[in-house]
Amino acid sequence: MKMRYHVLCLVFFLALPCMVSGQTVSESDMDDQAGVKVTVYNNNLALIKDLRNVSLPVGKGELRFMDVPSHIMPVTVHAKSLNYPGEFTILEQNYEYDLMNADKLLDKYVGKKIKIIDWNRYQDRKDVVDAILLSNNKGQIYKIDNEIYLGHPGYRVLPKIPENLIAKPTLTWLYDNKKREPHQLEVSYLTTNINWKADYVLLLNKDDTSSDISGWVTLDNRSGAIYRDAQLKLVAGEVHRVEERFQDQDYAMMAEKKARAPQFKEKAFFEYHIYDLQRKTTIKDKQTKQVSLLEATDIRVGKELLVYGVSSYFTRQYREKNPKQPVNVFIKFKNSKDNNLGMPLPAGIMRLYKQDDDGSQQFIGEDKIEHTPKDEEVRLKIGEAFDVVAERFQTDYRQISTRLHESEWEITLRNHKEKEIAVGVVEPVFGNWQVISNTHPYKKVDAFTIRFDVKILKNDEIKIKYRIRVGL
């Protein structure tokens, strides 16, 4: 525990802590820290628990608790003594954030005497000038020997630092202490400008039937403080916050075939999931840190080629100049234990890679996943097929009444690959609908969706034809 001693204290009371307005002023900084716990939420928020060993004089005094983040939320601060909880009480708290800089220091000395030191190179000596600072607004104005100077060469020297300016953000407490022994103070608070996200890398095999996956946590600390040897926990889930009016980097990490022991231990927590790093780590201010989250191999995956329609097609004449429609490519897998996974996956971006004929990993697409519990399916849209063509034609349309429409469709699918493929055609409908005729069987996915699944031989094409009546 360090005590602040002012000049008068050094002269008259060398062995005593300084007194300001009749109260003892003590300071605590990171050197007093016995431990720190950091829990980071994925909505730009973190809970900090700072444990420090602090010695305080008995009675009322002022404690300046330093090395707190500049983005601290002061209304969330809670301090308690772990070893003597009934002997330490905070009576008043202030958050000091008027940080010193050259202009603020000079502002405090407007109307006061300062020194200006200039090097006289002709006489090889220092010239010291006493000056009164009259103004520090867009430049300095001085009164020197009853003359007004608009600026002056040299270094400005101030006699001391004003008491109401501080070098770094500080919590200032008026306390009442009844114990001479050191307190183990636990100070907890929320701070913003610290966030985390998950990034994943999937490596597909040659046949697109299995994949290796690695997950990484990216932690971005811009809170204005460093957390040394912190116990780090991450919370995944949508934590509700009351909105008050008061950057994103992507990384691609190639997975290794050999899975490492997980660094995070995952467990359910309230309606969220918490990931506990099984070692301590230092989180520096303005630092982006990445830590391995998971690794798994030989995950069974499936690939889907899907063509999507639009519900508005069925109540109007369809006259598109370009009949071609995208053939979307999806990769899907089950997040289950029997598929070598089964860990709740935090929301993040999954990037997919595949080895080309030269043995190089090539990027093939990415998609974002939401928080995914175990035993749920993950579906990733990774792009559009190049060698599969889909065309949509409306071969007939008639409006039977103001609320009843009937249309006929022909969807052509051409396969330019050197192997057979499967393609799904998903048609969203609405209202009261009825398929009157169809060339291929369809499946009713839900009350407002039908789906055709067809196989197309290599270098071949098929035509799906159906007629549908829709009532509004």
Model confidence pLDDT, tens digit, residues 38-64: 999 988 899 999 999 999 999 999 998
Least Cα distance to 184 among 26, 46, 1 occurs for: 1
- Find all residues with CB under 8 Å of 168, minimum gap 6, and list them: 66, 67, 99
> 353 vs 14, which has greater pLDDT?
353
Q: Are 278 and 265 in contact (CB under 8 A)?
A: yes
List beta partners, residue 214: 201, 295
> 413 vs 264, which has greater pLDDT?
413
What is the Cα–Cα distance from 89 to 353, expressed in whole angstroms? 58
Per-residue pLDDT, 243: 62
What does the DSSP assignment read for 266-309?
A: EEEETTEEEEEEEEEEEE-TTEEEEEEEEEEEEEE-EEEEEEE-
261 pLDDT exceeds 60?
A: no
Q: Phi, psi (5° rounding) for residue 337?
A: -65, -40
Count the Cβ atoms, other than its own, within 10 Å of residue 321: 4
Model pLDDT for residues 276-306, shown as the tens digit of each residue:
888 999 999 999 999 988 899 999 999 999 9
Q: What percent of the chain has pLDDT over 90?
A: 63
Mean pLDDT value across residues 405-421: 96
Phi-psi region of 229 (alpha: psi -120 to 50; beta: other; left: phi over 0): left
Per-residue pLDDT, 265: 82
Per-residue pLDDT, 42: 85
Count the Cβ atoms, other than its own, within 10 Å of residue 81: 19
Q: Are 58 and 93 in contact (CB under 8 A)?
A: no
Per-residue pLDDT, 245: 47
Q: What percent of the chain has pLDDT over 70?
A: 89
What is the Cα–Cα distance from 227 to 219, expressed in whole angstroms? 13
439 pLDDT exceeds 90?
A: yes
What is the Cα–Cα distance from 103 to 236, expressed in whole angstroms? 43
pLDDT confidence band for 272 (50 / 70 / 90): confident
> 97 vs 214, which has greater pLDDT?
214
Flag the least confident range among 167-181, 236-250, 319-333, 418-432: 236-250
H/E element holding 33?
strand 33-41
Q: Are 434 and 442 in contact (CB under 8 A)?
A: no
Q: Phi, psi (5° rounding) for residue 7?
A: -60, -45
3 pLDDT exceeds 50?
A: no
What is the Cα–Cα distance from 81 to 88, expressed in whole angstroms? 6
Q: Are 165 and 108 in contact (CB under 8 A)?
A: yes
What is the Cα–Cα distance from 199 to 251, expressed in whole angstroms? 7
Q: What is the pTM of this model?
A: 0.72
Flag the least confident range among 61-75, 117-131, 191-205, 350-364: 117-131
Flag the least confident range among 160-164, 200-204, 246-250, 423-427: 246-250
What is the Cα–Cα distance from 130 to 144, expressed in whole angstroms? 7
What is the Cα–Cα distance from 384 to 326, expressed in whole angstroms? 6
Q: For all residues of the chain together, what is the average pLDDT?
A: 86
How far are the Cα atoms of 36, 159, 326, 463 from residue 391, in angstroms, in the given order? 61, 82, 9, 9
What is the Cα–Cα distance from 371 to 133, expressed in whole angstroms? 60
What is the chain's alpha carbon radius of gyration, rounded to the nearest angstrom? 34
328 pLDDT exceeds 90?
A: yes
Mean pLDDT value across residues 190-199: 94
4 pLDDT exceeds 60?
A: no
Per-residue pLDDT, 329: 97
421 pLDDT exceeds 70?
A: yes
254 pLDDT exceeds 90?
A: no
pLDDT confidence band for 259 (50 / 70 / 90): very low
13 pLDDT exceeds 60?
A: no
What is the Cα–Cα distance from 69 to 47, expressed in whole angstroms? 12
What is the Cα–Cα distance from 417 to 404, expressed in whole angstroms? 41
H/E element holding 410?
strand 404-415
- Find all residues with CB under 8 Å of 106, minimum gap 6, and list them: 133, 136, 140, 156
Per-residue pLDDT, 396: 95
Per-residue pLDDT, 165: 62
Least Cα distance to 54 among 23, 87, 76, 91 occurs for: 87
What is the Cα–Cα distance from 199 to 218, expressed in whole angstroms? 7
7 pLDDT exceeds 50?
A: no
What is the Cα–Cα distance from 230 to 50, expressed in whole angstroms? 10
CA dihedral of residues 465, 466, 467, 470 (deg, nearest 10): -130
Flag the least confident range among 67-81, 109-123, 231-245: 231-245
